[in-house]
Structure 1
């Protein structure tokens, strides 16, 4: 990959059966913005792995679990200074990667997270319950930590050393909200970046695809929120294998 300045940037993309979207997603990543692209494949039974490899990405067999895929990607990117995360379905617009990375590269933030609700959303790109869940989670975190999040999407970037220090544990869909809660509790400098959000390029959403997957993801996110919120204040759990 091309050089991205003096700081090494790795982009981690968790993926599961995204053959219809992963090729276009990788092709849209601006040249020179990241140094390393890691696709963490959660056991795809379609051509996701082959398409990602052909596009030049490093592909990991991460095993099932959204958080597990993210964790394995971070472990692979041991030489990175900054880790960015993005979904594989093409809904996140890679053109906003420079905006997400800029606050970290200049040292004005430790953690930058995209906000779909503050940006321009294509019609049908987010279900009503996704918007509602983001608002409810944001209200809860604001009450607990005084940090105003408006979204809990995958599209984000964080200093790798800061991420390791958070002691992340969640291996499911609760990974995103755990990161946000631990970052707020740790006092990291956090910034939200409004972004455009699109309909997925193909395939079926693993979260909002049907009632069962929606309930499963929602339950894991809620359980993670309660677990982290009820932990005693102070240092987070000891870092895991990152």
Structure 2
């Protein structure tokens, strides 16, 4: 299992994210830096992560680069989370359990309403409802904290290399029946 963490200027946060990784669950932690101008890379390395640098900006580009490295390294399950501390790495066992139980190929974490600004709650509900109308599935959140089988990610054929990566993944997963 591999954790992929796209980052940009996350000094002061990435170290805590890495320290919260559950022991014995994640075999490989890859931080993909999109051009940080602070000490993010140094903190990630000090935290034990493999660090890749993506010269072209784009959240999706960083996720894709990290996923490719993880798959090349033999990872069968990929966990994506942000490096700003907004996601809870200690929840990885709960997040991936449906995949380990062979009941799901794709699982999305869900933030509590108290942890989100009003516009995040509203946007998440609106986008989730729209995807539900089109694909007949229900998403409660659009957060970056997600897990997917490596072979399922390959089948999705992701193209969005900017901030729309998560939305595209959910739409393609819904269309694929994941």
- Specify if TM > 0.5: yes
More helix by share: 2
Q: Say which of 50, 53, 63 aligns to 2:45.
A: 53
Contact 2:113–2:121 (CA under 8 A) maintained in structure 1: no
1:37 & 1:76 partners in 2: Cα distance? 10
The answer as to 2:29 corresponding to 1:29 is no
Structure 1: how far apart are the matches of 2:99 and 2:168?
20
Q: What TM-score does the superposition give when structure 2 sets the normalisation length?
A: 0.96
1:113 aligns to what?
108
Aligned to 1:187: 177
**What secondary structure, in the 3-state scheme, does the structure 2 residue paired with 1:34 have?**
coil
Alignment gaps of 5+ in structure 2: none
Which of 121, 125, 135 aligns to 2:125? It is: 135
Q: What SS does structure 1 have at the residue aligned with 2:97?
A: helix
Do the aligned partners of 2:137 and 2:174 also contact (CA within 8 Å) in 1?
A: yes
Q: 2:137 — aligned with what? A: 147
**1:152 Cα shift?**
0.8
Look up the SS of the partner of 1:115 in the other structure: coil
Q: Counterpart in 2 of 1:92?
A: 87
**1:173 aligned to 2:168?**
no
| C-alpha displacement of 1:120 | 6.2
Normalising by structure 1, what TM-score? 0.71
Q: Greater CA radius of gyration, 1 or 2?
A: 1
Runs (4 or more) in structure 1 with deviation over 4 Å come to: none
Q: CA deviation at 1:30?
A: 1.1
State the alpha-carbon separation in 2 of the partners of residues 53 and 111 from structure 1.
29
SS in 1 for 2:109: strand
Aligned residue for 1:163? 153
| Residue of structure 2 equivalent to 1:74 | 67
Unaligned runs of 5+ in 1: 1-8, 189-242
Aligned residues: 175
Partner Cα separation in structure 2 for residue 17 and residue 45 of structure 1: 6
Equivalent pair of 2:95/2:147 in contact (CA under 8 Å):
yes
Match of 2:6 in 1: 14
Alpha-carbon distance in structure 2 between the residues aligned to 1:175 and 1:94: 20
- CA RMSD of the aligned region, Å? 1.0
Q: Distance in 2 between matches of 1:150 and 1:100?
A: 14
Deviations 1:156-193 (A, max 9, x none): 000010001000000111000100000000011xxxxx
